[in-house]
Every structure is written in C-alpha cells, then in structure tokens.
Amino acid sequence: MELNVILSNKRDAKSLLEEEYSVYFLIEGEEIIYIGKSTNYQNRLHQHKIDKEFDSFYVHSCKNRSEMEILEFKMIAKYKPILNKTLPTVEIYPSANKLKSYLNMGAWEFKRFLKKYDIKPFTEYNVLNYYEMQDLLKGGIIW
C-alpha cells in the first residue's frame, strides 16, 4: 500500500483509541522519522512523546495483526525512517541470515543458490537483505 493512500486514511487520534491494530508514522517537518505498530495507540504515542521529537503523526488502522505486521515491515523497508534502526521480524520476509541458518548453508553456497533460482532480495536494510516467500518457493524452500 502506498504512503499517500495510508495518509489519506488518517483519522483523529481520539477515534483510534478504540481500534486495536494500527501502523503509525511519526513526522518531523516533511520527513517520516519513525514507523511503528501498536495494539494500544494511546500508550505508544505517549511513550514516543517522551523520547522522540516529532510535530505530527499519521495512523492507519489494520484489520488484524498479520496485516499490521506486514504493513509496518513494508513501510519501514520502503521509507527507511531515520529512527527505525532495524526491520521488524516478519516470517514471510526472512533475512538472508535467517535463511542461511534455516537452509544450513554457508555464505558462498547461499549465494550460488540465489543465483541458480534467480532470487532477488525484496529489500536491503542496514546491510541485510530480506526475501519474499513467493520468490523463495522458486527454489523449493518451504518455510
């Protein structure tokens, strides 16, 4: 989902207090500085006011936990906010390190495997590559 679609769905913070699953964007000026997820939006916003400087925020409500986790992962991967130091763990987007361990492969063998099946990373974040499960199925990986 594109950010402009998410931002067009922004709501008054009060109306979100009743909603359980949400992905939020902290904004400083024109820059998204942090993206997070929450099942208790009011508490998270209060915590962020203590340790982060931002002048506005946007919230997107989600239908369930899975949608919330995937959306948070994709938005952090796409916009790379300065205060998000790592990508969250989402099973359908395993990191290269997690895959190598799962497949019991060394770096060189893993590289050959990716080349053989023409598997490209979904995204790179802080030097780690992350892969999409549908691409890994080409190589016969059952996750």
Q: What letters, b where the CB count within 10 A reaches 16 and e where it falls short, cover 42-66? A: eebbeebeeeeebeebbbbbbeeee
What integer pLDDT is reported at residue 132 of this predicted model?
A: 85
Q: For 4-55, what is each residue's pLDDT tens digit?
A: 545 545 555 545 445 589 999 999 999 999 999 999 877 888 899 999 999 9
What integer pLDDT is reported at residue 124 of this predicted model?
A: 84
What integer pLDDT is reported at residue 82 of this predicted model?
A: 95
Residue 3 pLDDT greater than 80, yes or no: no
Residue 1 pLDDT greater than 70, yes or no: no
Residue 88 DSSP class: P
Sign of the alpha-carbon dihedral angle for 95, 73, 71, 47: positive
- What pairs with residue 25 in β-bridges? 35, 58
pTM of the model: 0.74
CA angle (124, 41, 74) in 5-degree steps: 20
CA distances from 68 to 3, 17, 80, 99, 141 (A): 14, 16, 17, 23, 25
Report the candidate in 29, 88, 4, 16 with the shortest Cα–Cα distance to residue 59: 16
Residue 87 pLDDT greater than 60, yes or no: yes
DSSP output for 102-131: HHT--HHHHHHHHHHTT---SEEETTEEE-
Q: Among 1-5, 62-66, 103-107, which stretch is predicted with the lowest mean pLDDT?
A: 1-5
Predicted confidence band at 143 (pLDDT cuts at 50, 70, 90)?
low
Dmax (CA) for the chain in angstroms is 52
Q: For 88-134, what is each residue's pLDDT tens digit?
A: 888 888 889 988 998 899 999 999 999 998 999 988 887 788 888 77
- Taking the C-alpha atoms of residue 132 and residue 43, their distance in angstroms, rounded to an integer, is 32
What integer pLDDT is reported at residue 16 of this predicted model?
A: 46
